Each structure stands twice: as structure tokens, then as C-alpha cells.
Amino acid sequence: MGAAADQKDGEPITSINITPLVDVSLVLVIIFMAVAPFAISAGIKVLESRASAAVGKVAASENVSVRLKKDGTLYLNNKLIDPLLLGLALQKALAQSKDKMVLLSADDENKVGQVVALLDEAKQAGAEKLAILKQEAAKKG
């Protein structure tokens, strides 16, 4: 029916039919192009700050600071706070904040999950900006 002219009866077909290969390839390209925008996941935008950087629009005292110690104690604006009351206290503090920015600092020994939970709590309390601060190591002379 569509056999090549130089093919003898009983011989296997050894040439590749390119048309179905191109069709399947184009369909896969279209599927990947349609799915690609959905593959990008949304997350929390975090502003990373260096300990030595002190340039900003608003003074650090006007922002809300949260400190997580390695033993799990929480400090909100340098005051010890119960972790169960953090959400409500953050809402009150953010209502008084100009930029609605939360500065989070944690000890190196804290687990990432604890820090992410605090970031999530701050976002749910109404924080518009989040920053993770790194404590500058004490310089040995």
C-alpha cells in the first residue's frame, strides 16, 4: 500500500515514518507550553537583610521585630511573649507600624520549620513585608 519501491516482498520495514513522530512531538510541546505557567508556585516574598546594612525608609524602632531563641522563647519588640498569643500581639503591633514590616531574627540552632511558621503567622496577622535578619557574629580580636 505505501511500501517503498525498492522493498521486496517479505522484507521488514526498516525506515522510520517521520509524520507520527513530528505529530507526537508537537503535541508534547503544546502540552508543556500550556502547563508551564501553572508549574510556578507562589510563595512568601522575604526581604533578606545583612546585619551591617542600616539603610532604610523607616527606623527599625517603627517596625515590628520578632526574635526566636534556640530554647523556643519568643520576643516581640524585645518583650517576652507567649507563642499562643503571638498572632493577636502581632496584629496589634502591625496596626501601629507605618510600613507593616516584620523583622524576624532567630538563633542558628532553630529549625527552618519554626522560622517558616513565624513568617506564616506574621503574614496572617497582616504583615505586608517580611525581613529575616542575621545576627552579626562577635568579632574576635
The fold for domain 47-133 equals Nucleotidyltransferase; domain 5 (3.30.420)
Q: Between these two residues, 4 and 129, which has the higher pLDDT value?
A: 129
pLDDT at 43: 63
Find out whether 68 and 105 touch, Cβ atoms under 8 Å: yes
Return all residues near 103 (Cβ < 8 A) that are at least 6 apart. Answer: 49, 60, 63, 64, 65, 66, 131, 133
Return all residues near 51 (Cβ < 8 A) that are at least 6 apart. Answer: 133, 134, 135, 136
Predicted confidence (pLDDT) per residue in 60-110, tens digit: 567 899 999 988 899 999 899 998 999 999 999 998 888 889 999 988 888
